Chains A and B, each alone.
Chain A
């Protein structure tokens, strides 16, 4: 019915710009099932603590449905809300996006409200499975366990010759939680400010991003216990206390992304780094590269290589084995190497089927989820 009214408004309007508010509803859904083929567990998205695959085939860890409501209030002003319901959160609806957008002109847009912090190359539409070549972006490089911020985001675009540039500047407060009933829940409150530059030339797109996070507070049950233990122990170096107390830390995220498209063959790569100049956590250096090939209009297989090359956080031993174990766990580095093989089949113009097998291995793995082998299949839909 709305569609018909909308159509009538468009067709009847001369000139086109109509005074009435133009509403639209669009949606997407991904139904993803998978299991690990060894005895380990695999968490495909670091933000959703309970979204974990194990040896029994399960549809809940990653499946999701999103609905987006947009009201075009004037030519330049619009309001958007996106509701997402995920299996990993027992299908409780979340509101990852709720913002006002204003277009100053064709080349400058600002959004204000609840937004996704755009750390990575695929942050913006990470949930829209249909728009991704994989079932999900390689999780090793999408490592920040928080997504949402309340803030502003400016997007400007311009061209120099044949190169189109997009510059994004954002800032806000991330007051986000990694929900989990069974795994270590993370509660985070942090001020972020970041910038990204995306130049693109015909077949090549690059992306450079940098985000600084300050006043970072992080709480997890095990962190709280460790802090209490360290404070009670007379042998703890004061430096260690400051580095473990996650109440006023600083963190930086930097990323380089690349997409090269040669009609049939395409390559996607990202190198993302999360550093903790004041805290005890490991410096995470994460890389992946995917090469895909469009065999036909419908069938696109790919291979992905992933590498974690973290540096453990520095520790001054306390002399108490239990505390030192806690410090080692907190500062642990991942050095996993992984590969994946998968493919996408476009069943209909708005339905894609995908499958992926991923195998990980590590020399000195602390995280068991770093060594799981996982098989997943998905149906991605737009509506």
Chain B
């Protein structure tokens, strides 16, 4: 019984470890559009180039581990699948992947650009960006 308890505890610890980082999707505070999870995924995969309200949407991504979290949770793709996906579009001249920046750069870009959308670790969100969802 004790062994079982220990195993459950161990598994729970492991899983909580995996699920620790939450990703916050952020936009400029003036962006009042209702942006669904499907919209976010479409914008970051280059399938949609504007917000639901019609203004143009410029996604930026992170160059750290939060990006893996975002890719698997929202885009449902592994790092290599995403690389493959973009290489198809890049080498056929159809689209280019979003620029990747650091978490601080993402925050400062998004607070001053109403067209941008990005994501950061939810622990790093600052007051001058708007969180449209945490995943």
**Are the chains A and B members of one assembly?**
yes
**Which residues of A160-209 have CB atoms within 8 Å of chain B's CB atoms?**
164
Tell me whether A311 is interfacial, beta carbon within 8 Å.
no
Encoded as 1 (CB less than 8 Å from any B CB) or 0, chain A from 291 to 311 comes to 000000110000000000000
Tell me whether A249 is interfacial, beta carbon within 8 Å.
no
Tell me whether A346 is interfacial, beta carbon within 8 Å.
yes
Cβ–Cβ < 8 Å partners of A298 in chain B? 78, 80
* 10 cross-chain CB contacts under 8 A: A16-B116, A24-B96, A66-B91, A68-B91, A78-B93, A106-B49, A124-B88, A125-B88, A131-B87, A350-B83
Asked if B96 and A349 make an inter-chain contact with CB atoms under 8 angstroms apart, the answer reads no
Cβ–Cβ < 8 Å partners of B50 in chain A? 106
Asked if A82 and B80 make an inter-chain contact with CB atoms under 8 angstroms apart, the answer reads no
Asked if B79 and A26 make an inter-chain contact with CB atoms under 8 angstroms apart, the answer reads no
Cβ–Cβ < 8 Å partners of B91 in chain A? 26, 28, 66, 68, 82, 124-125, 127-128, 131
A130 to B84, CA, bound (A): 6
Interface residues of A (CB under 8 A from B): 7, 10-11, 14-16, 24, 26, 28, 66, 68, 70, 78, 80, 82, 97, 99, 101, 106, 109, 111, 124-125, 127-128, 130-131, 155, 164, 297-298, 346, 349-350, 352, 382
Kindly provide the distance from the CB of B20 to the nearest chain A CB, expressed in whole angstroms: 19
Cβ–Cβ < 8 Å partners of B109 in chain A? 11
Cβ–Cβ < 8 Å partners of A127 in chain B? 91
Chain B interface size, under 10 / 10 to 19 / 20 to 34 / 35 or more: 20 to 34
Asked if A128 and B88 make an inter-chain contact with CB atoms under 8 angstroms apart, the answer reads yes
A332 to B116, CA, bound (A): 59
Tell me how many residue pairs across A and B have CB atoms closer than 8 Å.
Answer: 68
Kindly provide the distance from the CB of B53 to the nearest chain A CB, expressed in whole angstroms: 14
| From B83, B99, B101, B112, contact of A130 by CB (8 A) | B83
Kindly provide the distance from the CB of B55 to the nearest chain A CB, expressed in whole angstroms: 12
Encoded as 1 (CB less than 8 Å from any A CB) or 0, chain B from 101 to 130 comes to 100010001001101100000000000000
Asked if A297 and B80 make an inter-chain contact with CB atoms under 8 angstroms apart, the answer reads yes
Cβ–Cβ < 8 Å partners of B115 in chain A? 15-16
A8 to B109, CA, bound (A): 12
Cβ–Cβ < 8 Å partners of B78 in chain A? 297-298, 346
A82 to B91, CA, bound (A): 8
Interface residues of B (CB under 8 A from A): 47-50, 58, 78-80, 83-84, 87-88, 90-94, 96, 99, 101, 105, 109, 112-113, 115-116
Kindly provide the distance from the CB of A56 to the nearest chain B CB, expressed in whole angstroms: 32
Asked if B99 and A349 make an inter-chain contact with CB atoms under 8 angstroms apart, the answer reads no
Asked if B93 and A97 make an inter-chain contact with CB atoms under 8 angstroms apart, the answer reads yes
Cβ–Cβ < 8 Å partners of A15 in chain B? 113, 115
Do A28 and B47 form a contact, CB below 8 Å, given A15-B115, A16-B115, A298-B80?
no
Do A80 and B83 form a contact, CB below 8 Å, given A128-B88, A164-B47?
no
Do A125 and B93 form a contact, CB below 8 Å, given A11-B109, A15-B113, A16-B116?
no
Do A124 and B99 form a contact, CB below 8 Å, given A14-B113, A15-B115?
no
Cβ–Cβ < 8 Å partners of B49 in chain A? 106
A15 to B79, CA, bound (A): 30
A111 to B113, CA, bound (A): 31
Cβ–Cβ < 8 Å partners of A297 in chain B? 78-80
